[in-house]
Structure 1
């Protein structure tokens, strides 16, 4: 599964250095790394809706909209994009707890510290998924849970939506899937089960997935789902 990391910094030399470090870090990794570069917080916000990323290396000290303000804007929209702040000062660390920052790295960035943060993130992201076997009209089908974006109920059957946009009609009820307690999944509504790996943001009444799909969210379940979302990306 490819990994996309965004670098947002108003210093082109810093962007160049971070790109070099990322290339070194990913050289022996078993996945492709895509790097997106942004010279300002504004340019990131403009592109982000159509060009999502998995993690952002975010400079704090930028002209106009700074990195902390960008982070607060994302969080106010319910977006829990993992953020690693890059800063020349330690003054912002306390404020970073308010936006659930994944980590802080002080300039000049030590590659060992950057690599450790990224390795920990990838380890959490790559936890072995549950392997599922379920019945379809054409017989038994095997699939890894990490390929499922969400599951939707249709009476006593379900539609299993996959990350490659395929849909598998399953002869199993959604309550059966709920009973499996799949790692990294939440039930935001009685008719849906959602994979947190593919969630972009959570609002009061809906969940937005990376591919643009909108899933309804029961108001009574908002607090629990939102807490699980935050924990999924921020807890060690």
Structure 2
């Protein structure tokens, strides 16, 4: 299921968009969760990093779509943005915020279908990511930046390229989610990204960053097989 946000201050248009998206779901089987925001300020104040795609009206009263997109790009570089407008010249300004495209109102179903098809195809070629949360908010983490996760009391501490993020998840659940992406639970307290493993000596794993974590004795054989398989794919 994909999470779509519609940010527009015209209630009738929002209702029409919902119907068009529901028709797309009926035709293709692709499911969406839809969140509605009546203006850019409300979207920013309640931004959810689980959002995959935003339909963003350029002309809104309190905060226009371009200013909204500028702020969103500071906190989320990967979310897709379709600008909505009645005037094409405004839409062209939106490309500086890496917009997927612009849609001119009123929107016809065939145009929406074409654009959603293109977006979904592109979406699945993107680097996969996960969304985690803590008391400070939600965080979208690209998996190619996640070195490893470790247990921290009853929570998890995620080690990325640039920071450590505490999240309220169970190791078992995260392990299942990351299983298809070359992550391996080498120890009760560690889940490691095989892409960052530099070497293994006895029960100690050295990462490219110089950090060292542990592999448990019962897990070592299976871990070494997984690592050999991953390195083999990279040759």
- Contact 1:152–1:191 (CA under 8 A) maintained in structure 2: no
Which aligned pairs between 1:105-116 and structure 2 lie closer than 5 A?
A: 105-116=103-114
Q: 1:177 to 1:168 in 2, by over 3 A?
A: closer
Work out whether 1:63 is the aligned partner of 2:61.
yes
Deviation at 1:149, TM superposition (A): 9.1
Deviation at 1:164, TM superposition (A): 4.4
Larger radius of gyration: 2
Q: 1:27 to 1:147 in 2, by over 3 A?
A: farther
Q: Give the structure, 1 or 2, with the largest relative contact order (CA under 8 Å, sep 6 or more).
A: 1
Identify unmatched segments of 5+ residues in structure 2.
129-141, 151-158, 160-170, 198-206, 211-235
- Contact 1:150–1:162 (CA under 8 A) maintained in structure 2: no
- Per-residue deviation, residues 23-55 of structure 1 (Å, max 9, x unmatched): 001113344311111111122112214x63110
Which residue of structure 2 lines up, in the alignment, with residue 34 of structure 1?
A: 33
Which residue of structure 2 lines up, in the alignment, with residue 18 of structure 1?
A: 17
- Contact 2:175–2:185 (CA under 8 A) maintained in structure 1: no
Give me the whole-angstrom Cα distance separating, in 2, the residues matched to 1:55 and 1:163: 25
Which aligned pairs between 1:152-191 and structure 2 lie closer than 5 A?
A: 152=148, 161-162=174-175, 164=177, 168-170=184-186, 177=195, 190-191=208-209
Give me the whole-angstrom Cα distance separating, in 2, the residues matched to 1:80 and 1:175: 21
Q: 1:164 to 1:73 in 2, by over 3 A?
A: same
Which residue of structure 2 lines up, in the alignment, with residue 226 of structure 1?
A: none
- Contact 1:7–1:56 (CA under 8 A) maintained in structure 2: yes
Aligned to 2:5, the other structure's residue is in SS state strand
Which residue of structure 2 lines up, in the alignment, with residue 222 of structure 1?
A: none
Deviation at 1:177, TM superposition (A): 2.4
Aligned to 1:152, the other structure's residue is in SS state strand
Which residue of structure 2 lines up, in the alignment, with residue 139 of structure 1?
A: none
Count of aligned pairs between the two proteins: 163
Identify unmatched segments of 5+ residues in structure 1.
131-145, 180-188, 193-236
Instruction: Tell me the C-alpha RMSD between the 2 structures.
Output: 4.0
Which residue of structure 1 lines up, in the alignment, with residue 70 of structure 2?
A: 72
TM-score by length of 2: 0.57
Give me the whole-angstrom Cα distance separating, in 2, the residues matched to 1:147 and 1:77: 17
Which residue of structure 1 lines up, in the alignment, with residue 96 of structure 2?
A: 98
Aligned to 2:54, the other structure's residue is in SS state strand
Aligned to 2:18, the other structure's residue is in SS state helix
- Contact 2:85–2:91 (CA under 8 A) maintained in structure 1: no
Which has the larger share of helix?
2
